[in-house]
Amino acid sequence: MQPSNIGLQKRLLLKLQPSANHLPPIIAPASYKYPRDDSSEKARNSRSYGETDAIADIWEKSAMERIKKKYERVNSTIISWESEKKAKTERQRDRVKRDTEKKKERALQHYHSYRNAKAEQRLERVERDIEKKGERAFQHYRSEISRIEQIVPGARAEADEKRRYEGFKIKETANKIRVTGKVPVKCFCF
């Protein structure tokens, strides 16, 4: 054999032979100390694994409850806005109806008091104006109602999207708490 090969063979034999000082960790004596990672040691010293999970679960449940209450208020605001706007447009429509009916009554009284051609023309003109005004008021009412009905689903969808995003952020933060064992601090000191 060549001398360089002999050195290589000896080194391989030494690595393969177990020595008393260098036993593999599987059969190491009880006094053997495994190397520790500093970050895992800090987490182990601060809280136990189950304790960290419990803290994260409690934090997550309370945060999700806050989000739920917040978006219940948002939905109630949307519903109240919708009912308020619909009631307002109905009041406007009813006011136009009342005004036109009063105008028609006055024209009829005028016609009955004078009963001439001029009064008859005035009555016909008032009736045409009333029909036009009624049609315009009804079209305005329908367009306002349709506009409201288009806005409300968009607002609800936007609120749902925000609620889902905030829920996602809460779950992400809860996972950070589970890993680190500490609640992240938000500093508003700007």
Cα–Cα distance, 144 to 150 (Å, whole number):
10
pLDDT at 46 over 60: no
pLDDT, tens digit (0-9, with 9 covering 90-100), for 80-137? 999 999 999 999 999 988 988 888 888 888 778 777 888 788 888 888 888 898 899 8
pLDDT at 147 over 80: yes
pLDDT at 146 over 80: yes
Q: Which domains does the chain have, with CATH numbers?
A: 49-179 (1.10.287)
Cα–Cα distance, 97 to 131 (Å, whole number):
10
Cβ(62)–Cβ(161) under 8 Å?
Answer: no
pLDDT at 52 over 50: yes
**Between 49 and 104, the higher pLDDT residue:** 104
First to last CA, the chain: 76
Mean pLDDT of 3-21: 51
pLDDT, tens digit (0-9, with 9 covering 90-100), for 58-87? 889 999 999 999 999 999 999 999 999 999
Residue 25 DSSP code: G
Position 27 scores a pLDDT of: 47
